[in-house]
Amino acid sequence: MVVVAAVLAVVLSSTPKKAAGGKAASATTPTTAALASDVCPLTDTRAPGGTPPRRPAIAVKIGNEPQGARPQSGLNEADIVYDTPAEGGIMRYEAIYQCNSASSIGPVRSLRWVDWHILAMYRNLPLLVHAGGIIPDVNALDALRYVKDVNLLSTYAADGTRITSRVPPDNLYTSTAQVWASFPNEKAPPAPVFRYSGSLPAAAKPAKSIEINFSLGTDSVWTWNAATSTWLHSYAGSGPDIDALTNAQVSTDNVVVQIVKYQLGPYSESPGGSGDVESVLTGNGAGYLLRDGKEIPVTWHRPNASTMTTFTDAHGAAVDLAPGRTFVEIVLDTTAAQKGAITITP
């Protein structure tokens, strides 16, 4: 068992490391990546019917509190899911849909600062679906030109549905069909946000699982399943994480771990609470990529908000994701510095 502690919490220098032969490997990330015309832009897998749909990405803010929010619906249908720290040790998902559809997504919860900062690299007016939020955040989102505010508690209330099997605030759900139907004139798909390759990098080592100790009740575990060639999600002490839409365990092809700096926002999300956790996803830092039953220590790079996120190994060589779906685990540097915060079992 390998325990990743404070060493991974150090945010790496922006100076590129030298590769073999003495040449510095560039950490500059391209704004977009070229993809074949028949693949989905966010997964690099063949699109249904061989033609990627002409529609924008939908990002849905989904609750992840141990009581009330779980099990969520629609996570297995998302192209990319971000697991983001919020105030008070809770986690929230931002699930991105473009090639696939989901008939039920939720529970939909309130907006956070990190949400539109993630979406700055998606291009072509992604649709950010949420259930309101504090007034400063809602106003900030409305002022942006690169993302569309889809607030299910106001203008787009018709795109949300209150289910009877749960209690508020965890009973608000939506679907991709509802949201895309509200934007019939938006035809531009998103730009790719990661680079993909079918080849494993030389630095890859076997990995059976990774556990990330975010907070009480939210010890996230990904375990490699060779039979399905996917990573399966569970919570330590709570068992498998089941997608309520399909009754299947939440799975993915790639697990990306990004260790990030952060600051607390100036506005409290609840009376007496701290400011929102504002995870800084630009610059560079330490992390891991898990794919194909392997793990690769990486440095992530995102020079500015509009550029895609890329990864390099210890020698500065590019590390690409496997074609398929991706979960991005955002880990705060202070969390990563704790003993046993990230555990990889080879």
Virtual torsion, Cα 320, 322, 325, 328, nearest 10 deg: -40
pLDDT given for residue 35 in this prediction: 67
pLDDT digits (tens, 9 = 90+) for 38-56: 999 999 999 988 999 999 9
> pLDDT above 70 covers what percent of the chain?
90
Q: What is the dihedral of CA 302, 305, 308, 313, to 10 degrees?
A: 10
- Average pLDDT of the chain, as a whole number: 90
Instruction: Classify domain 2-34+193-345 by CATH number.
Output: 3.50.90.10
Residue 158 has pLDDT above 80, yes or no: yes
The whole-angstrom separation of Cα 159 and Cα 181 is 9
What pLDDT is stored for residue 26 in this prediction? 35
Which is more confident, 185 or 12?
185
Please state, in angstroms and rounded to a whole number, the distance separating the CA atoms of residues 14 and 160: 43
Assigned CATH topology for domain 48-181: YerB-like fold (3.50.90)
Mean pLDDT of 17-27: 32
Residue 16, pLDDT > 80, answer no
pLDDT at residue 9 in the model = 33
Residues of the chain with CATH 3.50.90.10: 2-34+193-345, 48-181
Look at residues 121, 17, 99 and name the one whose alpha carbon lies nearest to residue 53: 99
Sign of the Cα torsion 303, 308, 313, 318 reads negative
Q: How far apart are CA 345 and CA 79, in angstroms?
A: 26
The H or E element containing residue 167 is none
Q: Is the dihedral of CA 330, 333, 335, 339 positive or negative?
A: positive
pLDDT at 229 over 70: yes
pLDDT one-digit tens code per residue, 97-135: 999 999 999 999 999 999 999 999 998 999 999 999 999
| CA-based torsion, 265, 266, 270, 273: positive or negative | positive
Q: Is the peptide bond before 169 cis (omega within 30 degrees of 0)?
A: yes
In the block, tokens 């690099």 appear at 44
